[in-house]
Copies of this chain bind each other. A is one copy, B any other.
Amino acid sequence: MTRQPTVLDVAEIAGVSRQTVSNVLNSPHIVRPDTRERVEEAIKQLGYRPHASARRLRTRKSSTIGIRLDPVTNGISGSVLDRFLHALTEQADAFGLRVLLFTARDPDDEIAQFERLLDGADVDGFVLTSTTYEDPRTEWLLEHDAPFVTFGRPWGAADVYDPRHRWVDVDGHHGVAEATRGMLELGVSHVAYLGWPPPSGTGDERRLGWRDTMLAAPGLGLREPDLDALEIACEDGVEQGSTAVRALLARGVRVDAVVCASDSLALGALMVLGTSVPIVGYDNTPVAAAVKLSSVEQPLEQAAGAALELFRAVGPRGDSFDPDGSANDPDHRLLRPRVFWR
């Protein structure tokens, strides 16, 4: 690479001191207009650009967000977080932010990485995905006053709307309720639910979306015990889904339709029930599209944009924050998914 012009080159061409060039870059108002013009002309002539590390050192800001790359799972829904990361990286530029990746074996390791990246001023803060009950990571970040935004609510927190913990999330209750209503509109009554074992922040909420809708449906006449018989939980996975559906059928339960907590489970159900029984999955993964499964789609582009907006607004409340209609309050965004019917 040819040598980049330095601040000294600029100073020489402009016939000023290094300090003057530095002043033009950092405090132009203290420099005489004619001198400033000469320096600016030299900067332009040389194509000089202030070194990014120098700029960051000066501002003590890296304009960089750290994001942990989740471990690759064998599930087919892992693609959702990858899509969120894509959307976030794509939009970061417009916010003047960059994305630095790291990996971690477990939450403790992730916390060690937080510390290292903050200490080195490598990042200004973090966007976290996959929040859990009593998440030790957000506790650590709050204790250390480190800027962060989570994609996911602080499950189990005393105050989910704590202004110190900014988050963006997708309303899974709403998505599954809409899927369940869509099934009931087909004229069927026994809509089964295939979900995950509690406790699971996202899982419990999706399950309630189905349950509340079934209980509220006019004329269905299903009561709590009927619903208990219509639902089954298993770990996420295609085979697990198939096994669970077989177990549900073995109970002698009538199954008119199935709403699932994930596309993996939905694919498992599809492999047992075939296309005779309508099935809705969750996350609208490429696999759902490939096998023509209806599925709940999360608005990931919108979620990424909201996360960046909240991240930029972290710290003392500034003027930069511009809440839009979808906000519940300035620090939290609960977005609505929609069912992609096929």
A146 interface contact, C-beta 8 A = yes
Which residues of chain B are within 8 angstroms of A102 by Cβ–Cβ distance? 89, 93, 98-99
Q: A1-B145, A120-B52 are in contact. Are A98 and B98 (CB under 8 A)?
A: no
A205 interface contact, C-beta 8 A = no
B51 touches A72 (CB 8 A): no
Which residues of chain B are within 8 angstroms of A289 by Cβ–Cβ distance? 74
In angstroms, Cα B52 to Cα A56, docked, is: 10
Q: How far is the CB of A7 from chain B (nearest CB, A)?
A: 11
A100 touches B103 (CB 8 A): no
Closest B residue to A62 by beta carbon equals B53
Interface of A is mostly: mixed
A267 touches B238 (CB 8 A): no
A319 interface contact, C-beta 8 A = no
Instruction: Give the contacting residue for A103; candidates B4, B57, B89, B290; CB below 8 A.
Output: B89
B57 touches A86 (CB 8 A): no
A101 interface contact, C-beta 8 A = yes
In angstroms, Cα B115 to Cα A49, docked, is: 12
Stretch at the interface among A10-18, A75-83, A179-187, A249-257: A75-83
Which residues of chain B are within 8 angstroms of A79 by Cβ–Cβ distance? 78-79, 82
Instruction: Give the contacting residue for A99; candidates B53, B101, B291; CB below 8 A.
Output: B101
Q: How far is the CB of A138 from chain B (nearest CB, A)?
A: 16
A119 interface contact, C-beta 8 A = yes
Copies of this chain: 2
A208 interface contact, C-beta 8 A = no
Which residues of chain B are within 8 angstroms of A202 by Cβ–Cβ distance? none
B72 touches A83 (CB 8 A): yes
**Contact residues of A between 287 and 319, Cβ < 8 Å to B:** 287, 289-291
Closest B residue to A64 by beta carbon equals B100
Q: How far is the CB of A53 from chain B (nearest CB, A)?
A: 4
B238 touches A264 (CB 8 A): no
Which residues of chain B are within 8 angstroms of A69 by Cβ–Cβ distance? 85-86, 89-90
A32 interface contact, C-beta 8 A = no
A144 interface contact, C-beta 8 A = yes
Can you list 22 pairs linking A and B with CB atoms under 8 Å apart? A1-B118, A2-B145, A49-B120, A51-B120, A52-B121, A53-B57, A53-B121, A54-B57, A74-B286, A76-B290, A78-B79, A78-B286, A79-B79, A89-B101, A93-B103, A98-B101, A99-B102, A100-B100, A100-B101, A101-B101, A264-B290, A267-B290
